[in-house]
């Protein structure tokens, strides 16, 4: 399967703590993306990191990518209760994949307690 | 700005009944369009994608079908629903030739009884 796999499946922390979620994948990629999904809602794009990048920041989000290990991590710093959601990584499958097709993992359910 | 609409938001249908879910995109032309299904607590399964009017590619054999009658309209259909068709259906679009970022609609919760 080309799907990414997030780890852990569930994460529960207190407000103010940092949350780290990991993603592993199996094929080569051109880029990797992270999405967020609030319960019962559509997915919202958070950040995209290209295969030639190692780290990227956006506000309280920090994404790293290690193509040699085929893994990525999403760090949310100073978490808030409003960060409670499911987080998914998605890969593009690399060269030769159907243009625009994304492969999603099963997600990490993050719960941030006030 | 671009927006994507899906309707209905929720749907409860009996087994064997037909299905029609609609997705429309505003503010962009010639988008790539995608239908996904998400089972409870699971990731997204790509069902269909379309790169243009009348062009549909299917990822998973099933009793569902998709059509794209207009550039910014994507329809998911079934002639006879199965219990296993229950789930959360998401439509997404992408700018053709740009990055792979996809933009998702609000989803339709389908319950087949």
Q: What digits encode the pLDDT tens for the residues A57-110?
A: 999 999 999 999 999 999 999 999 999 999 999 998 776 555 678 889 889 999
Residue among B23, B94, B100, B105 with most chain A CBs within 10 A, to mutate: B100
* Secondary structure of residue B11 in the 3-state scheme: strand
Q: What is the mean pLDDT of residues A13-19?
A: 97
Subunit contact A99:B51, Cβ cutoff 8 A: yes
Give me the DSSP letters along B22-82.
EEEEES-SS-EEEEEEE-TT--EEEEEEEEETTEEEESS-SSEEEEEEETTEEEEEESS--
Q: Which has more confidence, B53 or B98?
A: B53
With a cut of 70, say whether residue A2 has pLDDT above it: no
Q: What digits encode the pLDDT tens for the residues B12-51?
A: 999 999 999 999 999 988 899 999 999 877 789 899 999 9
Contacts of A30 in chain B (CB under 8 A): 100
């Amino acid at each position: 399967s080309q799907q990414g796999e997030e780890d852990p499946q569930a994460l529960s922390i207190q407000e103010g703590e940092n949350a780290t979620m990991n993603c592993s994948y199996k094929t080569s990629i051109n880029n990797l993306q992270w999405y967020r999904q609030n319960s019962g809602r559509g997915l919202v794009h958070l950040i995209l990191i290209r295969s030639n990048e190692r780290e990227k920041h956006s506000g309280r989000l920090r994404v790293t990518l290690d193509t040699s290990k085929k893994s990525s991590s999403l760090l949310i710093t100073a978490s808030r209760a409003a960060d409670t959601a499911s987080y998914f990584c998605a890969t593009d499958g690399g060269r030769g994949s159907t243009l625009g097709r994304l492969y999603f993992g099963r997600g990490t359910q993050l719960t941030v307690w006030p | 700005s671009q927006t994507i609409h899906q309707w209905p938001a929720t749907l409860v249908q009996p087994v064997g009944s037909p299905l029609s879910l609609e997705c429309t995109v505003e503010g962009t032309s010639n988008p790539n369009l995608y239908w996904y299904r998400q089972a409870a607590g699971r990731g997204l399964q790509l069902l269909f994608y379309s790169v243009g009017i009348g062009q549909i590619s299917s990822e998973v054999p099933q009793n569902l079908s998709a059509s794209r009658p207009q550039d910014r309209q994507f329809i998911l259909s079934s002639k006879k629903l199965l219990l296993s068709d229950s789930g959360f259906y998401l439509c997404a679009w992408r700018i053709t030739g740009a990055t792979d970022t996809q933009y998702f609609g609000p989803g339709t919760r389908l319950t087949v009884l």
